[in-house]
Structure 1
């Protein structure tokens, strides 16, 4: 797991605990508060065994097909700051195809605790053997 313990969170998936980066935690927390986005997400740092080079390389080779066949793809750049609006304006000004879920991104301070997710399949590399 990348990062220091203070930059990690714990997911509970079907009664098992998975450590994730603060960035993965923040995106899951943000998605949880936006139910219209759906409930099924593929997050590479969780779904791909980062310690297995063969699996990781194979999965990376599939990413083009995965993303191009996805109904929707969300990109998480982190929590908003006081300058996030400038980035959104630049994207709109350059006529990039952008659907902003949050027009006024603000920095947030949220507790970094465990998040419970039920009935989410666990990748084989994370299963308790």
Structure 2
């Protein structure tokens, strides 16, 4: 079975978000962190570049990517909204079945709940 791993290119918080996707066999044990976040009901209107092509994501994912991005080095992630072709029902169904393998094989699983509230200690 194959999965796409996202390379989140380095940048400052306000820089445009740019990523690359590479295909990997799960048997090759690719290094990645899996991101779990709330898709929410937000409209997908935040542009990012995926392999040089524009893709619109929701504000929650855009904000997560900005907070998770390193300034000087790439970060390798698996994010369902980007790593699964959302326009292919066949691929989406197959990849959803693989999630029971994708998450446990990740180096870390990151959970994004949103930016810290002014009243929080974070």
Which of 89, 110, 114 in structure 2 is aligned with 1:53?
A: 89
- Answering whether residue 86 of structure 2 is matched by residue 73 of structure 1, we say no
Q: TM-score, normalised by structure 1?
A: 0.54
Alpha carbons of 1:65 and 1:35: their partners in 2 closer, same or farther (altered >3 Å)? farther
Structure number with higher strand proportion? 2
Structure 1 residue aligned with 2:75: 39
Structure 1: segments with no counterpart, 5+ residues: 86-103, 105-129
Structure 2: unaligned runs, 5 residues or longer: 1-40
Given that 1:67 and 1:73 are in contact with CA atoms closer than 8 Å, whether structure 2 keeps it comes out as: yes
Shift of 1:82: 3.5
Cα deviation, residue 18, structure 1: 1.2
- Aligned-residue Cα RMSD (Å) equals 2.3
1:50 and 1:44 map into 2 onto residues whose CA distance is 9
Write the distance in 1 (CA, Å) between the matches of 2:50 and 2:87.
20
Q: Deviations over 1:38-59 (max 9, x none)?
A: 6111111111122322211111
1:8, 1:25 within 8 Å by CA — same for their partners in 2? Answer: no
Checking the alignment, whether the CA contact within 8 Å between 1:8 and 1:21 is kept in structure 2 is: yes
- How far apart, CA to CA, are the structure 2 residues paired with 1:69 and 1:25? 24
Partner residue in 2 for 1:15: 52
Secondary structure of residue in 1 paired with 2:112: coil
How far apart, in 1, do the equivalents of 2:72 and 2:114 lie?
A: 19
Match of 2:64 in 1: 27
1:33: Cα distance to partner? 4.6
Pair member with larger Rg: 1
TM-score normalized by structure 2?
0.56
